[in-house]
Amino acid sequence: MKRVYNFNPGPATLPLEVLQEVQAEFLDFDNSGMSIIEISHRSKNYEKVHNQAKADILELMGLGDEYEVLFIQGGASLQFAMIPMNFATKENPGSYALSGIFSTNAYKEAEILGVGQIAASTKAENFRRVPRQDEIKIAPNSAYFHVCYNNTIYGTEYHYIPETNGVPLFADMSSDMLSRPLNFKKFSLIYAGVQKNLGPAGVVVVVVKKSLVEKSLETLPTMLRYDTFYKKNSLFNTPPEFSIYFVGKVAAWIKNCGGLAEMAKRNSRKAEVLYAAIDESNNFYRGHAEKDSRSFMNVTFRLPNEELEKKFVAEALENNLIGVKGHRLVGGLRASIYNSMTLEGVEALADFMKKFRQSNG
Binding site for a copy of itself (CB under 8 A): 1-4, 6, 8, 10-14, 16, 19-20, 22-23, 26-28, 31-35, 37-41, 73-78, 80-81, 85, 105, 108-109, 112-113, 193, 195, 199-203, 218-224, 236-243, 246, 320, 322-323
CB of 298 to a copy of itself, least distance (A): 14
Question: Running DSSP on this structure, what letter comes out for residue 324?
Answer: -
Q: Name the residue nearer to a copy of itself (CB basis): 19 or 308.
A: 19
For residue 42, count other CB atoms closer than 10 A to its CB: 9
CB of 21 to a copy of itself, least distance (A): 11
Task: Give the bridge partners for 302, in sequence order.
Answer: 286
Q: Name the residue nearer to a copy of itself (CB basis): 166 or 221.
A: 221
Q: Name the residue nearer to a copy of itself (CB basis): 25 or 279.
A: 25
What are the backbone dihedrals phi and psi of residue 190, each rounded to the nearest 5 degrees, phi first?
A: -130, 135
Q: Name the residue nearer to a copy of itself (CB basis): 155 or 199.
A: 199
Q: How far apart are the first and last CA of the chain?
A: 35
Q: Name the residue nearer to a copy of itself (CB basis): 74 or 331.
A: 74
Q: Name the residue nearer to a copy of itself (CB basis): 39 or 316.
A: 39
CB of 84 to a copy of itself, least distance (A): 9
CB of 8 to a copy of itself, least distance (A): 5
Q: Name the residue nearer to a copy of itself (CB basis): 49 or 138.
A: 49
CB of 12 to a copy of itself, least distance (A): 6
Counting other chains too, the contacts that 264-271 makes at CB distance below 8 Å and 24 or more residues apart are 264/179, 264/180, 264/181, 266/339, 266/343, 267/179, 267/180, 267/296, 267/297, 267/337, 267/339, 268/296, 269/343, 270/296, 270/337, 270/341, 270/343, 270/346, 271/295, 271/296, 271/299, 271/337
Residue 190 CA to residue 147 CA, distance in Å, equals 10
Residue 203 CA to residue 210 CA, distance in Å, equals 20
CB of 261 to a copy of itself, least distance (A): 26
CB of 109 to a copy of itself, least distance (A): 5
Are 98 and 126 spatial neighbours (Cβ–Cβ below 8 Å)?
A: no
CB of 38 to a copy of itself, least distance (A): 5
Q: Name the residue nearer to a copy of itself (CB basis): 131 or 202.
A: 202
Residue 231 CA to residue 287 CA, distance in Å, equals 46
Are 19 and 213 spatial neighbours (Cβ–Cβ below 8 Å)?
A: no
